[in-house]
Amino acid sequence: MFKPPRSAYVHIPFCHRRCFYCDFSIVPIGDEVKNTKGNGTKVINDYLYFLKKEILSIKHKSPLSTIYIGGGTPSILDPTQMAELISIFEIHYGIDYGAEITMEVDPASFEEKDLYGFINAGINRFSLGAQSFNNQVLKEAGRRHISKDVEEACYWMRNAKKDKFIKSWSLDLIQNLPKSTLSTWQKDLEKTISFCPPHISIYDLNVEEGTVFQKLQDLGKLPLPNQDESFENSKLTSKILNNSGYLRYEISNYSLPRHQSRHNRVYWKGLGWWSFGQGSTSSPWGIRFSRPKNIDEYQKWVIDQCDKQLDKSLLVNSKKKLDLDEKIMLGLRTKEGINLKNLFIEEGWDENNSKKFMSKLLTSWQKYRDYDLLLNEGDRFFLSDPEGMELSNQIIIDMFNWWDQIN
Residue 350 — very low, low, confident or very high, per pLDDT cuts 50/70/90? very high
pLDDT digits (tens, 9 = 90+) for 67-112: 999 999 999 999 999 999 999 999 999 999 999 999 999 999 899 9
Mean pLDDT, rounded, for 359-378: 96
Phi and psi at residue 353, in whole multiples of 5°? -65, -40
Q: Are 249 and 260 in contact (CB under 8 A)?
A: yes
pLDDT at 309 over 80: no
Note down the domain range covering 37: 7-268
Confidence of residue 33 (pLDDT cuts 50, 70, 90): low
Q: Decide if 318 is inside a domain.
A: no
Are both 264 and 333 inside the same structural domain? no
Do residue 31 and residue 144 come from a single domain?
A: yes
Q: What is the pLDDT of residue 37?
A: 53
**Quick one: pLDDT band at residue 208, thresholds 50, 70, 90?**
very high
Residue 402 reports pLDDT greater than 60:
yes
- pLDDT value at position 349? 94
The pLDDT value given to residue 321: 85
Residue 20's domain is classified under what CATH number?
3.30.750.200
User: Cβ neighbours of residue 55 under 8 Å, at least 6 residues apart?
Assistant: 10, 88, 89, 92, 276
Answer yes or no: is 317 within a domain.
no
Could you give the number of structural domains in the chain?
Answer: 2
Q: Which of 25-34, 41-50, 57-66, 128-137 has maximum average pLDDT? A: 128-137
**For the chain, percent of residues with pLDDT exceeding 70:** 97
Tell me whether residue 273 is in a domain.
no
pLDDT bracket for residue 191 (50, 70, 90) = very high
Closest CA to 6 of 93, 126, 133, 79: 93
Residue 1 has pLDDT above 60, yes or no: no
Q: Within this chain, do residues 151 and 248 fall inside the same structural domain, yes or no?
A: yes
What CATH number is given to the structural domain containing 337?
Answer: 1.10.10
Is 27 a member of any domain? yes
- Of the candidates 126, 121, 120, which has an alpha carbon nearest to the alpha carbon of residue 106? 126
Contacts of 308 (CB under 8 A, 6+ apart): none
Q: How confident is the model at residue 41 (pLDDT cuts 50, 70, 90)?
A: confident
The model carries a pTM of: 0.95
* pLDDT, tens digit, 9 for 90 and up, residues 140-171: 999 999 999 999 999 999 999 999 999 999 99
**What pLDDT is stored for residue 308 in this prediction?**
79
Same domain, 329 and 246: no
Q: Is residue 372 part of a domain?
A: yes
Tens digits of per-residue pLDDT, 177-187?
Answer: 999 999 999 99
Q: What is the mean pLDDT of the chain?
A: 94
Q: Band of the pLDDT at 235, cuts 50, 70, 90?
A: very high
pLDDT reading at 122 higher than 90: yes
